[in-house]
Amino acid sequence: MPSKIRTVLFDLDGTLADTAPDLAAALNQLLEEEGRAPLPFEAIRPEVSHGSPGLLKVGFGMDSEHPDYARLRARLLELYGANLCRETRLFPGMVELLAALARAGRNWGIVTNKPKHLTEPLVRELRLSHPPACIVSGDSTANRKPHPEPMQLACTQAGSRPEQCLYVGDAQRDIEAGRRAGMKTLVALFGYISEHDTPERWGADALIRHPRDILDWLNAEERTHA
């Protein structure tokens, strides 16, 4: 019989928190510094889950092979780091979800590709009433998502086996990492998913449109395996 889910793990950007406004502001500030016109928020938001590579791609049309990539990436992260939590908020319903998980005796954590020097201060600034049992950042392990190593570290820190964990994310690499680690997975459709993404093909256990849907899924899963 499958183990009961006791730990819910979240991607950070686009799943736990709506970080797009502050990341978009940093990108537009960089564009202006470089003599370029700022981009509309709607053009930037779908790329936020892809981190600085995605932002530099949409802003400058460049990849990591471009000679200016390292300089612009460093400056982008500097600008963002100076304004981590001006407009960033937990997604609506997430506060209630975390409280419900605590009442049910479940813990929760974060597994993100965001670097530790940005992740940890951001989590502090969010002033969470129910703190995470683990925070695994993009440089916490030798490999990043979609590799399962960050997921395995999260399991160790949260005190759960992979089959006792649910991972919620808004990018294909999130679902791949969770599945490779042996976890159940959900796609957060309220996150940063572009019109070109095909989340229904990522192999997740379900697609959700609101954080409260996670509770519904957990309850249904318990009933199925009771």
Which residue in the list 13, 22, 174, 213 is annotated as catalytic? 13
Q: 175: part of which helix (H) or strand (E)?
A: helix 172-181
Q: What are phi and psi of 186, to 5 degrees?
A: -130, 145
The answer to whether 155 and 165 have CB atoms below 8 angstroms apart is yes
Of 10, 15, 44, the residue nearest 27 (C-alpha): 44
Paired with 90 in beta bridges are 17
174 is catalytic: no
Assign residue 189 a region: left if phi > 0, alpha if psi is -120 to 50, beta otherwise?
alpha
In the block, tokens 């779908």 appear at 46
Round to whole Å and give the CA distance between 175 and 186.
7
Q: 45: part of which helix (H) or strand (E)?
A: none
Catalytically active residues are 11, 13
